[in-house]
Structure 1
Amino acid sequence: MLKAVGQVLFSSGLQNPKYTAEEKKQGQDYEIRSYQAAKWMSTTLSGMQADAAMSTGFRRLFNYIQGNNQNKVKVDMTAPVTCRVVPGAGPACESTFTVSFYVPEEHQANPPAPNDQEVFVETRKEFTTYVRTYGGFSNENMKQEELLKLLESLKRDGVEFVDKPYYTVGYDSPFKLTNRRNEVWVLKKEEEQ
């Protein structure tokens, strides 16, 4: 009974992309996950503010799942929402942000085509990523702090990784107040995506 209550209160209940996780080594403060190849609905923006890009991108994708697609069908929300970040060349340069929703299993073979020209189907090949998980309401400062902690851990462990792009990842609706789950992802070397 308690487990069922916990699942209702603390799990999103949304479909997630399939992955396998390696067993953590002692003292390891990150996960290593291999995600299966899958389709994601995506939109790309440029700018200086990650949170503003995330908000605009989320709105475009939310309109898509609400029926702004050629089949005029509602598509189930999934988790997580990922944001691939390609940092600008310098401090005053725009970064590129690609915000994505995982396409639910029932639409993986043939996702409804988007009506918005700025929304597109992205086919991600299988990839392996290093994952650092943290809680709370995430913001740009937290994302940067958690990314730096992950990079320090990977350097400490002598792990080969791709320094850009990196991903910021969220699992929860803005209305969920407790037990929030956020992540930063850094791709394993030779796994550029």
Structure 2
Amino acid sequence: MENPKFLFLGIITIFIVTSTTRIVQCKTYESPQYTVVHKESDFEVRFYRDSSWMTAPTDEISFEKATRDGFHRLFQYIEGANLNFSRISMTVPVLTGIVPGAGPLHSSAYFVKFYLPAKFSAIPPLPLPELNLRPDSWKCHCIAIRKFSGFARDRNIVKEAEKLALSLSKSPWANSTSTDSGYAYSIAQYNSPLKFIRRVNEVWVDVSGSNEDDCKSNLVAAF
């Protein structure tokens, strides 16, 4: 007869593995759709399709404070602080757009953005007025991306943006950066503040092109 002790341990092991699998599955968040059109060792260019976002403007001077303030209001919105009382699933990334200006972080204002799941993209639930949020529809366009790890802080985001700018200056997209969005650059964050290792952040800079062929044509033109 099989030893009851080992049988019990086997059941516990199966339970832990099953539970862990469920937790991993629950952490698969919806993201805006894109296609990578060019990739190098330190950056890539993506073509993002049409998407809908909810935006929290904030006039905080600090990037970190602006992101916390904006996301706090956005979190209330997705938890039901909207006119439909709708609960909205968490998505990634949380995007902080940095408007060009003379501020200490090359900014004059910030806009914190939450990507709306596809089921809410056509008609987003209206936020409660006191949250000071507004919907933002993105048309398809091209974005240059640089990944960086750790936490996105006031002390490192400008350096990461400058590294992306330097990489772009040596690439086919040297003269293709676009200011149509009104942002100098944006910081995309993919992880909870409670995650301390293997964090993923990105610097986003718009480059010219309103469709996938436009993105690729910049590369082709350089050869």
After superposition, residues 9-158 of structure 1 pair within 5 angstroms as 12-25=27-40, 28-89=41-102, 91=104, 95-117=108-130, 118-158=132-172
The Cα shift of 1:93 comes to: 8.6
Structure 1: stretches of 5+ with no match in the other structure: none
What is the match of residue 174 of structure 1? 193
- Between the aligned partners of 1:108 and 1:9, the Cα distance in structure 2 is 26
The Cα shift of 1:96 comes to: 1.2
Task: Verify the 8 A CA contact 1:12 1:171 in the aligned structure 2.
Answer: no
Which secondary structure does the structure 1 equivalent of 2:59 belong to?
strand
Identity %: 32
- Between the aligned partners of 1:182 and 1:93, the Cα distance in structure 2 is 19
Structure 2: stretches of 5+ with no match in the other structure: 1-19, 211-223
TM-aligned CA distance change 1:103 to 1:93, over 3 Å: closer
TM-score normalised to the size of structure 2? 0.75
The Cα shift of 1:127 comes to: 1.4
- Between the aligned partners of 1:94 and 1:167, the Cα distance in structure 2 is 11
Give the aligned CA root-mean-square deviation in angstroms.
2.6
Greater C-alpha Rg:
2
Task: Verify the 8 A CA contact 2:54 2:134 in the aligned structure 1.
Answer: yes
TM-aligned CA distance change 1:12 to 1:136, over 3 Å: farther
Q: Which has the higher strand share?
A: 1
Task: Verify the 8 A CA contact 2:141 2:208 in the aligned structure 1.
Answer: no
Aligned residues: 186
Task: Verify the 8 A CA contact 1:78 1:102 in the aligned structure 2.
Answer: yes
Residue 30 of structure 1 aligns with an amino acid whose one-letter code is F
TM-aligned CA distance change 1:127 to 1:6, over 3 Å: farther
